[in-house]
Structure formats: structure tokens, C-alpha cells
Structure 1
Amino acid sequence: MIKLNNTIAALSSYLHSKEWLYEDETILSAEKPGDGNMNFTLRITTNRRSFIIKQSREYVEKYPQVAAPSERVLREAEFYKLAGTVPQLKLMMPNVIGLDQENSIMLMDDLGKGLDYSYLYEDGKVIPEADLLTVIYFIAKLHTSINSETTAQRISNKNMRELNHEHIFKYPYLEENGINLDDILPGLQQEADLLKQDDKLKKAVLALGKLYLADGSVLLHGDYFPGSWLKRASGVRIIDPEFCFFGIPEFEIGVTIAHLKMADQPEELIKKALRHYKNSCSLDEELCHKFVAVEIIRRIIGLAQLPLQIPLKKRVELLKEARKTIVN
């Protein structure tokens, strides 16, 4: 398997071998386009254009000790192809220029330099209502357009689901998982230990995990949170659907709402987002809120930490509310 690196000579040789560069095209620079965790990703600027190249390897790029399915970028390409059959969705995603299946490498349009919505985790930042409704419009359009009633195609993505399942429904609750949460925020480890010792909670979480692993009827983005939403002058764009699969919408919307809560967004805005989704999609709200709770717990006490700025008191409130939601 070819392993890409950020040296211009090696990148040029590879891209020419795939005939992905024009004859008179030369690479001027190669840089990381953002703070992504999962993959080796570069923005390549040439004398004629810029594009994104992404390779998925047998580990998580940010955490090399964590194994991950190397074919995940191929599932992402499948998502773009399937969702791209809907014009409204295609306009909000990058186009795939090339795909090297043997080496799990994808070439995509560069949507331009800019921010994702991770800035929402900063103290006092609020997402513009129009942007949030656009984010909800995309996912509602996806769920209503690509499902078992509209297509015979399926994306299972079983290996990625099993990886995600481990980190959402199991890893945070292990007595010894290698994370010292007091290094993140003093006092947090004590709160996590209470959850780890709660057998009733852990049993209920595992039951929700079975629902996540079961095949469903709706194409999900699979990781629909502020890091997957790009803020561009031309509007909101959606990226990184490598966790995509056909599942249940309650998981998808639960994740989204959980991140809005952890970003301390106004409650009325969160409710409006939920109403906007339900205007066009059916949703089991009780089940959705349970997935909200699971995502909050795993992000606050699990490995995939967020740049949260909410204080310990707020995190404890969220954890207690999450536990109550799951076990009741």
C-alpha cells in the first residue's frame, strides 16, 4: 500500500502516476486543511488550481495507537456518489475527482479555506439561525431522499460502525481506559467514575448500542456534528461522511442535538432545529434524546474529546441529565 506524505516530489510522482495532474501542472504547496482526526488529508495548491487529497490508513491519524478500517475513505466516496444523485445535496458537498481504491486515496474539490463550525464550542459563540436551519435542511433532505423506499443500494460500513460502537457505547465506561480526565479538567474523573460504576446505566447504553449496530432504512452521514459543517461565503457545506451507513435517524439527530447542547447553544434554537427536522421527517423523540445523552457522555468522558469551554459545573449537569434520560 502506498503511504502518502507531504513532500511535494512524492505527491507529484503519485498524482502523475494516476494522471490526476495536467501535463503542465506543478505543485506549489501542500498543507493540512484543518484539524481532522481520522485521515491523512492535504490541501494541494498547484499553478492551476487547488484540491484536497485524503488517504485513510489502518489507524486513526491523530491517534496512531487506535486501529481503524483502512477502507473508510471508499465508504465516504460511496456516500458522495449516492447522496450526489440529489441535486440539492450535491450542491452542498465536494465533488470527487478521483478514487484510488487499492490505496484508499480520494481526490476532491477544494471548497476553499475557511472555518468549520467547531468555533461554536468557544464561550459565547452562537450559530446563526439560518446556518443551523441549512444544516438541518441537508440532513432532512438526505434522510427523505436516500432510504429503503427510494434506492436498492445499501452502505453497511460495518467495520467503521464497530469502531464507533466501541468508542461510544463501551470505551467511556471501562474502569481503566487509559484516560486521566483530571488532566483535561480537574474534578472530571470523579464524575466519570460514578458513571463507570453505574450498572443500570451501562446496561441501558449497551441496549442503545445494539440499535446503532442494527441495519436501518435511512442513509446517515454518521458523524453529523460541527466539525463536519463548513462555513463558506457561498453557504454551508458538508464533509467527512466516512461513518455513513443505513441506520436509524434518531442516532443521527441525537448526535447533532448533543453537540449543540455541549456548545451551549440557546435552548430555543435547539428546539427550533428539532422542529425544522420534524417538519419533513418522522422521529421517535424519546429514542432521539437517549442518543443525545449517549453522545454527551462519550464526548465528555471518552477518548474523542472536544475543545469544550463549558466549566466543570455545566459538564456535570449535562452528565447527570444524560444519565437520567437514558435510565428512565
Structure 2
Amino acid sequence: MIDLNEHSSLEMLHSLPLWGKDEKLLSVEPAGESNMNLVLRVNTSIRSVILKQSKPYVRKFPQILAPVNRIEIELCYYQLIEDDDILSGYSPKVIHYNAEHHILLIEDLGNGIDFNTIYAKDYKWDDNDFHSISRYLNALHALEVSNFPDNMEMKKLNHEHLFRFPFLEENGFDLDIVQPGLQKISLKYKTDAEFKAALELLGKRYLAIGTTLLHGDFYPASWLKTENGVKIIDTEFAYMGDSEYDLGVLFAHFDLARMDESYQKTFLQLYQHSYAEDLVNAYRGMEIMRRLIGIAQLPLSLTLAEKKSLLEKARNYILPQ
């Protein structure tokens, strides 16, 4: 396996068996801020493509080991939806997959921007964007899928950072670096036996095999606003599970972005599948907490008091009513 990085030369890239006989590489540059994988935009004499390479660790946190075959999950996901009338229009087309180097070449969707701007206090939703995201999740959860990989190694990695690491009293991550006072607030939940027992049960459910194909990381950084509409990317966490997981993660980010409750109600009015509200809320609470006191921090503009309030709300979501 050739280990590429953001500074890899055109000569190194050209040595890979990815290009046409007369295709010349002209330039290469990073394409966005991917947390998990190396993502490059490669311009050639005939096209522009996105090159993704997975490595045996997380790109943003090299100290965290990760399954190198996760790029195959993304490939399977894109191949599965490429014939769906709705979903195919949201995803990049697969151009080439090289198993030896764990590289996926996909269509370049252009210079889109993700939706991390929703966390800004004055953010205003474009109705078309909001309905596009709703349409996508509705279509995804309608798919009948029988042979998708269990993706268990990625689920175990995610489980560590969803259900365990943020709630360890001593995890080596000083939250006061994120925001002074946050470490002290977090201790209430790290030492709450009743809460942690409920969280453990939810984590076991997350690791089980379900019946619905999920995106698995359905949050603003996985949504791309382009000249051709909203696109959905970064599907390496996809798995067969509870539809409530995707919904809960989504609504947690509505909370973190201080969006009005009416947006959730509108989304659920457009959503055409049954769901268990308490399970949606449990996953929602987990996602709020891990984003506030876990390692995967977001560009939030919340005050310490707002975070404290959200953490308490999240605890109540997770505890059985």
C-alpha cells in the first residue's frame, strides 16, 4: 500500500494504477476537511476526480486506530444506491476502486461547502436544502437491503467514542481546553451510575444488527451544498440498524444548532416511516453528549450555560421514562 498524504507528488500519484494510458496529472490539492480519510482533488488532462484513501488510523486523530477496509463500505453503499431514482442523484458516482491501496476514485462534485454553518446563531435554512435532506433520509430508509456488510469493526470504533470515551472520568481529554468550566460540568454525567447503565444498554442496541440501511453519520459535515443541489457524502459508517439512530443523530444537531422545534416537526411530517420516539430521543441524547464532552468537537457558538442545559436535556432523553 502506498501511503499518500496532502503533500504527495504528482509522480507518486501517477505511479498508481488509476489513470488512463494517455492521461496526464496536472494538479493535486486537499478536498475538504475529512475526519476519517485522506481526500484529494486530482486534476488531469481529461477530468477532475476525488481520490479517497483509508488508512489504518483516523486522519484527524492518527493516534486512533481504525479499520483500513472502511473504504469498501463506502464503495458498497454507493454501488447499492446507484440505481435508485432518488438516492443516486445525491451521491458521487464511483469511477474506480483499488483494493491494494484502499483508494476510491469518485466523481468530483465541485467546490461545495458542508453545512457546518448551521451552528451559527443567525443561520437561516434554505427550504430547498431542508427538504432535500429530508427526501434523502426518507428514501434511504425505504430501501430493501439484504446483504450489506455488517461493518462491525467501524461500529466498534464508533461505539467507543459514542458510548464510552466521553463518559470516562479520566480519559486524558481536558474539556477546559474546549471551554473553561466544561470539565467540571461533565463530571456529573461521568459519575452518574443510573445514567451510565442506560447508556450501556443503548450501546448494546447500537452494536446489534438491524433491518434498515443507515447512513451512520448523518450530520451537517456529511451534507454538501453544491451548484447542483445537496449531496450526501462520507458513508463509511453505514450499517444495518435502527432507523431511529439516523433520526436521533440528525435531531441532536438541530439541538446543537439551536434550531426551532418546528424544524423537527416538519421533518417528521415528511418522513414516511414508523419510528419509536423514545429510541429516537435516546440516540439524540447520546449524540448531544458525545459532541459536547467527547473528542469529536464541533464549531459551536454555545455558551457554557447553554451546554450545561443541553447536557441535562440529553440525560433525560437517554434515561427510560
TM-score band, normalised by shorter chain: over 0.9
Aligned counterparts, 1:94-133, within 5 A: 94-133=92-131
2:282 alignment counterpart:
290
Match for 2:174 among 173, 180, 190?
Answer: 180
Which stretches in structure 1 are left out of the alignment for 5+ residues? none
Residue identity over aligned pairs, in percent, reads: 41
1:243 aligns with 2:237: yes
**Is the 8 Å Cα contact of residues 76 and 148 (structure 2) preserved in structure 1?**
no
How big is the shift at 1:190? 0.9
Name the amino acid aligned to 1:3.
D
How big is the shift at 1:24? 3.1
2:300 alignment counterpart:
308
How big is the shift at 1:103? 2.1
**Is the 8 Å Cα contact of residues 145 and 213 (structure 2) preserved in structure 1?**
no
Report the secondary structure of 1:73's partner residue: helix
Report the secondary structure of 1:91's partner residue: helix
CA deviation vs aligned residue, 1:37-81 (integer Å, no higher than 9, x gap): 100110111232210001111000010000001000011100111
1:4 alignment counterpart:
4
Aligned counterparts, 1:57-68, within 5 A: 57-68=55-66
Report the secondary structure of 2:90's partner residue: coil
How many residues of Structure 1 are paired with residues of Structure 2 in the alignment?
318
Match for 1:48 among 46, 59, 74?
Answer: 46
CA deviation vs aligned residue, 1:213-262 (integer Å, no higher than 9, x gap): 00000110100000000001211101001000111101111001101110
**Is the 8 Å Cα contact of residues 126 and 265 (structure 1) preserved in structure 2?**
no
**Is the 8 Å Cα contact of residues 95 and 105 (structure 2) preserved in structure 1?**
yes
Match for 2:269 among 263, 268, 275?
Answer: 275
**Is the 8 Å Cα contact of residues 81 and 88 (structure 2) preserved in structure 1?**
yes
Report the secondary structure of 1:144's partner residue: coil
Name the amino acid aligned to 1:176.
E
Name the amino acid aligned to 2:260.
P
Name the amino acid aligned to 2:308.
V
**Is the 8 Å Cα contact of residues 129 and 269 (structure 1) preserved in structure 2?**
no
2:80 alignment counterpart:
82
How big is the shift at 1:207? 0.5
2:22 alignment counterpart:
24
CA distance in 1 between partners of 2:109 and 2:48 (Å)? 9
How big is the shift at 1:153? 1.5
CA distance in 2 between partners of 1:322 and 1:87 (Å)? 37
1:138 aligns with 2:136: yes
Name the amino acid aligned to 1:286.
D
1:317 aligns with 2:303: no
93 and 198 in structure 1: CA distance in 2 versus 1, 3 angstrom threshold:
same
CA distance in 2 between partners of 1:151 and 1:222 (Å)? 15
How big is the shift at 1:152? 2.7
**Is the 8 Å Cα contact of residues 31 and 42 (structure 1) preserved in structure 2?**
yes
RMSD: 1.2
How big is the shift at 1:162? 0.3
Which stretches in structure 2 are left out of the alignment for 5+ residues? none
CA distance in 1 between partners of 2:206 and 2:83 (Å)? 26
Report the secondary structure of 2:142's partner residue: helix
CA distance in 2 between partners of 1:305 and 1:132 (Å)? 23
